[in-house]
């Protein structure tokens, strides 16, 4: 998944593209609920249900949400700010894993063939450097998750991301506990305790291309809502 901070940054990018009279721009409570909704799918430990993933793809390294499942289940509340935020999170996840990660990493099996099956992966090639590493190192604070940590403070400053969000009222979404947003905000305080300069030492991601990708995804989402 993209980290919490990246999801908030993408949400900010989307809000900046809305017309000035949109509810999410004119009502701070609605804006709070949208931001909170954009984090809610990641507040649970088992994300299969909260992310509306198809079981048949559970063996893949990258699994993205099935957006139609969410839209079909919650079609009657899709216009609520929190539901818009939740759906936006799923949209960003799908774009991120389907389109962006292939730009930064390739996964290989024992015969040096590219594979998407998680249990077959024995090495990961980082396109940024050409480095080959085992998957357990790739998915660690040394590389993938560590890059999120290094980006957090810089991105928070650049996009003036909210430091506090109130739990929104639940319009009927069943997959998460809305009160868990408070625990997320506590975690985010710790995520900001890194030097802004740490962003200059990313090992997996290229900051410029990542932000350009999120800007494009946010713009495309704005078009789909029209």
Reported as a single tens digit per residue, the pLDDT across 111-139 is: 999 999 999 999 999 999 999 999 999 99
Between 6-10, 126-130, 161-165, 212-216, the lowest mean confidence (pLDDT) is in: 161-165
- Hunting for tokens 């908030």 — which residue is that? 8
Structure tokens at 44: 């649970």
User: End-to-end alpha-carbon separation of the chain, Å?
Assistant: 27
Q: Please tell me the predicted confidence (pLDDT) of residue 185.
A: 87
Contact 120, 109 (CB under 8 A): yes
Instruction: Write down the pLDDT at residue 83.
Output: 97
pLDDT above 70 for 1? no
Tokens for 55, please give them: 């079981």
**Residue-wise burial string across 80-96, b where 16 or more C-beta atoms lie within 10 A, e elsewhere:** bbbbbbbbbbbbbbbbb
């Amino acid at each position: 998944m993209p980290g919490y901070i990246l999801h908030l940054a993408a949400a900010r990018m989307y809000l900046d593209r809305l017309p000035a009279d949109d509810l999410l721009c004119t009502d701070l409570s609605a804006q709070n609920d949208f931001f909170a909704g954009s984090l809610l799918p990641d507040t649970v430990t088992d994300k299969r249900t909260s992310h509306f993933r198809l079981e048949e793809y559970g063996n893949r390294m990258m699994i993205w949400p099935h957006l139609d499942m969410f839209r079909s289940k919650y079609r009657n509340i899709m216009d609520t700010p929190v539901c818009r935020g939740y759906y936006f999170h799923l949209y960003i996840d799908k774009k991120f894993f389907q389109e962006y990660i292939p730009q930064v990493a390739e996964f290989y099996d024992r015969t040096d063939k590219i594979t998407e099956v998680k249990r077959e992966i024995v090495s990961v090639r980082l396109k940024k450097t050409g480095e080959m590493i085992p998957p357990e190192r790739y998915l660690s604070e040394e590389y993938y998750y560590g890059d999120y940590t290094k980006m957090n403070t810089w991105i928070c400053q650049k996009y003036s991301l909210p430091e506090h969000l109130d739990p929104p009222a639940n319009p009927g979404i069943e997959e998460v506990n809305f009160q868990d947003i408070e625990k997320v905000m506590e975690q985010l305080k710790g995520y900001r305790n890194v030097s802004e300069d740490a962003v200059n030492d990313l090992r997996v991601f290229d900051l410029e291309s990542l932000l350009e990708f999120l800007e494009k995804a946010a713009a495309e989402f704005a078009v789909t809502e029209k």
